[in-house]
Amino acid sequence: MKRALWLLPLLALAAGVAWQQVSAPLPEYWSDSEVALIGSLSLTALPPLPADPSNAVADSEEAARLGRWLYFDPRLSANGRVACASCHQPALAFTDGLALAVGIDVGTRHTPSLIGLSYSPWYYWDGRKDSQWAQALAPLEAPIEHGSDRLSLLRLLVDDSHYSRLYRATFGDLPPLADIASEGTAAVRERGRTAAQQHQIDAAFANMGKALAAYQRKLQPGRSRFDDYADGVARDGRTGQGELLSSDEIAGLGLFIGKAQCINCHNGPLFTNFDFHNTGVLAVSGQLPAIGRYDGIRLAREDPFNCLGPFSDARESDCVELRFARDDNQLVGAHKTPTLRNITETAPYMHGGQIATLTEVVRHYNEAPVSMLSHNEAKPLNLRPVERRQLEAFLATLSAPLAAESEWLEAPNYAE
């Protein structure tokens, strides 16, 4: 008996290691509430794409075709080398693989995926834009992104006969460029313009955004292994659904909707509530901590291209998100929840690409560090190493080819 005592510390150590590394057995059935939560995440539960009343051509095929040409065209930049597709690359789930976007210069934010984004009421990590078309305009003029200007873009539409044709088919006549674009520097030309001429330029610019948005509305997620699994669960409640998901992936799903609390924000079939949360992510290296949504809602309200502005096609009563948006201190340091669809293809992660891998993302949420600004809404999770691995395994089940037809995922032939 005495001789066996020396084994006790070893046994305790072995039990400790096992606790960290060995998975708990799966139950045979999910509970009713778990079945409901799993079903709520399936693409089967995705409602039709909501209308965008601020964009009269949001669902026009002509507009989407024009938008596709614009989207892939590097002529929409000051140096002729930056297109929307330079950062939002179809092959990388419409991201770029970089921590910070690179247009004409290095940007300050990580390129977000565009998959399913047209369901969002807000755009940019801080929600500074309230429609997809208003969002599409800002990078065209941003000096570190496309660095172009409204008149140069309008000139492209007028001078390129293909663009002129597509534009007229969608929006009617282009503004008479000869009247607007007198000689001289940009500043002189701007001073010489009447308000009516400026409005014409701005309206054509807004229409480019509306066509780009019509195109991006085509970029919807495709069914993944998870969706087939979830629909099986909805039918019979069983945790095992043939070979659709491995036991680790199923355990990870259980953590996702339970102990790990991911579903709090990454909810619904797009795995995002498109809302704003402070999750204690470190500031981007070399930058002050970002104020996030607190600034974003103020920028959205000031934006002349917002839902209530002169270029919107909406009635005031349509602009409920903008009119009733929260704008107080609770939003300091809050950034938009991104989709987790195709998440394995969109590394690095967070608004500044601060976290390189999903393993580290899971570790971040497990620790829930104190926020540099305001407070971290997330709390430490106490996930065991095996659980962190399982959670990450589950996230990989959300990748699939897009539902969009292939023509929307490829650049058009500009030489035609």
Partner 1 sequence: MYLNVLLSALFCLSLNSAAVAAAGAPQFELTGSDGMRLSIYSELDPLQINRIHSWHIDLVSAQGAAMSGAQIEVSGGMPDHDHGLPTFPRVTGETAPGRYRLEGMRFHMPGRWQLYISIDGAEPLLLEFEL
Query: Who's near 74: CB < 8 A, 6+ residues apart?
Result: 80, 81, 82, 83, 86
Contact residue for partner 1 among 265, 358, 395, 400 (CB under 8 A): 265
Q: Which two tokens stand for residue 218?
A: 């085509």
- CB 321, min distance to partner 1, A: 6
Site for partner 1, residues 118 to 157, rule: CB under 8 A: 121
- CB 265, min distance to partner 1, A: 7
295 binds partner 1 (CB under 8 A): no
Contact residue for partner 1 among 152, 241, 246, 330 (CB under 8 A): 330
Considering beta carbons, is residue 173 or 328 the nearer one to partner 1?
328
325-330 LR contacts (CB < 8 Å, sep 24+): 325/297, 325/300, 325/301, 326/297, 327/294, 327/297, 327/298, 329/294, 329/374, 330/374
Angle between helices 385-395 and 247-257 (to 10 degrees): 100
Look at residues 66, 371, 81, 34 and name the one whose alpha carbon lies nearest to residue 229.
34
Site for partner 1, residues 56 to 85, rule: CB under 8 A: none
Considering beta carbons, is residue 170 or 278 the nearer one to partner 1?
278
Considering beta carbons, is residue 236 or 327 the nearer one to partner 1?
327
| Buried/exposed 117-126: b ≥16 CB within 10 Å, e otherwise | bbbbbbbbbb
- DSSP, collapsed to helix, strand or coil, labels residue 164 as helix
- CB 263, min distance to partner 1, A: 7
Stretch that binds partner 1, among 2-10, 131-139, 261-269, 342-350 (CB under 8 A): 261-269
Site for partner 1, residues 348 to 407, rule: CB under 8 A: 375, 377
Q: Which two tokens stand for residue 104?
A: 């004409």
Angle at 393 between CA 391 and CA 394, to 5 degrees: 65
- CB 326, min distance to partner 1, A: 5
Q: Which two tokens stand for residue 217?
A: 């509305």
Q: How far is it, in rounded angstroms, from Cα 152 to Cα 82?
A: 14
Q: How many CB atoms lie within 10 A of CB 209?
A: 24
Site for partner 1, residues 167 to 206, rule: CB under 8 A: none
Site for partner 1, residues 34 to 53, rule: CB under 8 A: 36-37, 40
Considering beta carbons, is residue 58 or 325 the nearer one to partner 1?
325
Task: Please work out the total of residues on this chain that contact partner 1, with binding judged by CB under 8 A.
Answer: 25
Stretch that binds partner 1, among 140-148, 176-184, 238-246, 318-326 (CB under 8 A): 318-326
The residues that touch partner 1, with contacts defined as CB under 8 A, are: 36-37, 40, 121, 263-265, 267-268, 273-277, 320-321, 323-328, 330, 375, 377
